[in-house]
Amino acid sequence: MNIVFINASPKGKNSNSCYFLELLQNSLTKDTPNDIIIKQYTITSPYSEADFYTDIANSQAIVFAFPLYVDSLPSNVLSFLRKMEEVLTSSPCSATVYGIVNCGFYEGKQNELGIEILKNWCSRVSLPFGQAIGIGSGEMLGSLRTMPLEEGPNKNLGIAIQKFSHTIFQQTAGETIYVIPSYFPRFFFIKAANHFWVKRAQKNNLKKRDLYRKFAIPKNEK
């Protein structure tokens, strides 16, 4: 089985999207390493378009991974999909499309529109849509890479990746799987995330109050 992974994160190889693809690759190749050939492309890194479209044409599954930006896809991913649409209208491809969409908000459900947009793209290019995972708390789960997937807040993610890889391997379709961190209530997530921003700002020699900075808006401009 030939699978193309498309890491469509604007952050490229240092992204959480890339990490989630890595987890999927581990799951897909765990039991049947010789049956699966995965080609991975990162849209922000240089690659051969000829090789890319050859791999797409020869694939049975395409897996997109990207973060949610302003409730939908980052602008560079939209440009990429539009370009792919142009090529795919004249080049044969029958792969099933899968998606991993992650957002910084707690609820995986907030990725729903990003997934819908990917499905709408599939309709435009006449490719079947298989399944998606909508990962909430993406920044947090992406920072727990050293914790086993069977444990702690990672548990839901581990189960989702396992189910998702099964769907891909069977080349079937399934309902969207939405992920929130396990054993990690929302109020605690908000507390931890708000603390995270302050810590991150401190590395730039900023205090918490600096993060509330505003531009003065003259009254006549409003």
Partner 1 sequence: MKLIIHDLPEDMAKTLFSHHSSDYKIISGCADITPCTGCFGCWVKSPAKCCIPDKYHNMGKFLASSEEFIIISRCIYGCYSPEVKVLLDRSISYLLPFFKVRNGMVHHKLRYKTSFSLTAYFYGEDLTSTEISTAKQLVQANACNLNVSNCETIFLKNPLELGGKFR
Binding site for partner 1 (CB under 8 A): 9-11, 15, 67, 69-76, 78-79, 81-82, 105-107, 109-110, 113, 116-121, 123-124, 186, 189-190, 193-194, 197, 200-201, 203-204, 206, 210-215, 217, 221-222
The residue (of 105 and 169) whose beta carbon lies closer to partner 1 is 105
Minimum distance, C-beta of residue 180 to partner 1, in the bound complex (Å)? 10
Instruction: Select from 46, 31, 41 the least CA-distant residue to 1.
Output: 31
The residue (of 131 and 165) whose beta carbon lies closer to partner 1 is 131
3-state percent breakdown (helix, strand, coil) of the chain, nearest 5: 50, 15, 35
Q: Exposure pattern of 31-61 as b/e (b: 16+ CB <10 Å)?
A: eeeeebebbbbbbeeeeeeeebeebbbebeb
The residue (of 34 and 213) whose beta carbon lies closer to partner 1 is 213
Q: Exposure pattern of 137-175 as b/e (b: 16+ CB <10 Å)?
A: bbebbbebeeeebeeebbbbbbebbebbbebbbeeeeee
The residue (of 50 and 216) whose beta carbon lies closer to partner 1 is 216
The residue (of 60 and 72) whose beta carbon lies closer to partner 1 is 72
Minimum distance, C-beta of residue 117 to partner 1, in the bound complex (Å)? 5
Minimum distance, C-beta of residue 36 to partner 1, in the bound complex (Å)? 29
Spatial separation of the C-alpha atoms in residues 85 and 67, rounded to whole Å: 20
Minimum distance, C-beta of residue 198 to partner 1, in the bound complex (Å)? 9
Minimum distance, C-beta of residue 37 to partner 1, in the bound complex (Å)? 29
